[in-house]
Amino acid sequence: MSGEEDNDVIDLIVVGFEGDDCLVSPTAPLSPEEMQKLVGKDVEYEDFKGVVWKGTALELVDNEILRVRFEEAALSEGGPSGLGQGSLVRIKKPK
Protein backbone atom coordinates (compact mmCIF):
# COMPACT_ATOMS: atom_id res chain seq x y z
CA MET A 1 0.00 0.00 0.00
CA SER A 2 2.78 2.41 0.78
CA GLY A 3 3.81 2.85 -2.87
CA GLU A 4 0.30 3.19 -4.29
CA GLU A 5 -1.05 6.42 -5.72
CA ASP A 6 -4.22 7.49 -3.91
CA ASN A 7 -6.03 7.67 -7.27
CA ASP A 8 -5.35 3.99 -7.97
CA VAL A 9 -6.94 2.56 -4.82
CA ILE A 10 -10.24 2.60 -2.96
CA ASP A 11 -10.14 2.84 0.83
CA LEU A 12 -12.47 0.54 2.74
CA ILE A 13 -13.13 0.32 6.46
CA VAL A 14 -13.69 -2.91 8.39
CA VAL A 15 -17.24 -2.91 9.74
CA GLY A 16 -17.41 -6.45 11.11
CA PHE A 17 -16.39 -10.10 10.95
CA GLU A 18 -18.10 -13.36 9.98
CA GLY A 19 -16.05 -16.47 10.69
CA ASP A 20 -12.73 -16.15 8.84
CA ASP A 21 -14.03 -13.28 6.72
CA CYS A 22 -14.10 -9.59 7.39
CA LEU A 23 -16.77 -7.23 6.12
CA VAL A 24 -15.66 -3.92 4.64
CA SER A 25 -17.44 -0.82 3.42
CA PRO A 26 -16.03 1.98 1.23
CA THR A 27 -15.11 5.25 2.90
CA ALA A 28 -16.70 7.15 -0.03
CA PRO A 29 -20.03 6.22 -1.63
CA LEU A 30 -19.90 3.76 -4.56
CA SER A 31 -22.79 2.55 -6.70
CA PRO A 32 -23.83 -1.12 -6.51
CA GLU A 33 -22.34 -1.53 -10.01
CA GLU A 34 -18.99 -0.09 -8.89
CA MET A 35 -19.04 -2.31 -5.80
CA GLN A 36 -19.77 -5.41 -7.90
CA LYS A 37 -16.67 -4.69 -10.01
CA LEU A 38 -14.55 -5.04 -6.85
CA VAL A 39 -15.54 -8.70 -6.33
CA GLY A 40 -12.56 -10.93 -7.07
CA LYS A 41 -10.03 -8.11 -6.64
CA ASP A 42 -7.02 -8.24 -4.33
CA VAL A 43 -7.32 -6.44 -1.00
CA GLU A 44 -4.40 -5.25 1.14
CA TYR A 45 -4.12 -4.40 4.82
CA GLU A 46 -0.93 -2.92 6.25
CA ASP A 47 -0.49 -3.63 9.96
CA PHE A 48 1.22 -1.44 12.54
CA LYS A 49 4.56 -3.20 11.85
CA GLY A 50 4.41 -2.33 8.15
CA VAL A 51 3.57 -5.91 7.11
CA VAL A 52 1.18 -6.03 4.16
CA TRP A 53 -1.43 -8.78 4.35
CA LYS A 54 -3.20 -9.82 1.17
CA GLY A 55 -6.77 -10.95 0.76
CA THR A 56 -9.51 -11.25 -1.84
CA ALA A 57 -12.94 -9.63 -2.11
CA LEU A 58 -15.19 -12.72 -2.24
CA GLU A 59 -18.68 -11.30 -2.66
CA LEU A 60 -20.89 -8.25 -2.41
CA VAL A 61 -23.38 -8.24 0.47
CA ASP A 62 -26.47 -5.98 0.31
CA ASN A 63 -24.89 -3.90 -2.51
CA GLU A 64 -22.68 -1.98 -0.06
CA ILE A 65 -20.44 -4.38 1.88
CA LEU A 66 -17.66 -6.61 0.57
CA ARG A 67 -16.79 -9.93 2.21
CA VAL A 68 -12.99 -10.27 2.30
CA ARG A 69 -10.90 -13.33 3.13
CA PHE A 70 -7.22 -12.95 3.86
CA GLU A 71 -4.59 -15.46 2.70
CA GLU A 72 -4.14 -18.78 4.52
CA ALA A 73 -0.89 -17.61 6.14
CA ALA A 74 -2.77 -14.76 7.84
CA LEU A 75 -5.64 -17.02 8.95
CA SER A 76 -3.23 -19.56 10.43
CA GLU A 77 -1.90 -16.76 12.67
CA GLY A 78 -5.41 -15.83 13.82
CA GLY A 79 -5.83 -13.16 11.17
CA PRO A 80 -3.72 -10.18 10.18
CA SER A 81 -2.17 -8.56 13.25
CA GLY A 82 -4.08 -5.53 14.45
CA LEU A 83 -6.98 -5.98 12.02
CA GLY A 84 -10.18 -4.95 13.75
CA GLN A 85 -13.34 -2.95 13.36
CA GLY A 86 -12.41 0.48 12.01
CA SER A 87 -9.18 -0.72 10.33
CA LEU A 88 -8.47 0.61 6.86
CA VAL A 89 -7.92 -1.76 3.94
CA ARG A 90 -7.33 -0.92 0.28
CA ILE A 91 -8.34 -2.38 -3.03
CA LYS A 92 -7.05 -1.40 -6.48
CA LYS A 93 -9.61 0.38 -8.63
CA PRO A 94 -10.89 -1.72 -11.52
CA LYS A 95 -9.72 -0.51 -14.92
Q: What is the pLDDT of residues 30-53, one digit of tens each?
A: 999 999 999 999 999 998 889 899
Q: What is the pLDDT of residues 48-94, one digit of tens each?
A: 889 899 999 999 999 899 999 998 776 667 668 888 999 999 998 88
Q: How far is CA 86 from each of CA 3, 15, 37, rounded to the nearest angstrom?
A: 22, 6, 23
pLDDT of residue 1 exceeding 70: no
Domain ranges in the chain are: 9-92
CATH of 9-92, one of 3.30.420.40, 3.40.50.180, 1.10.3720.10, 2.40.10.190: 2.40.10.190
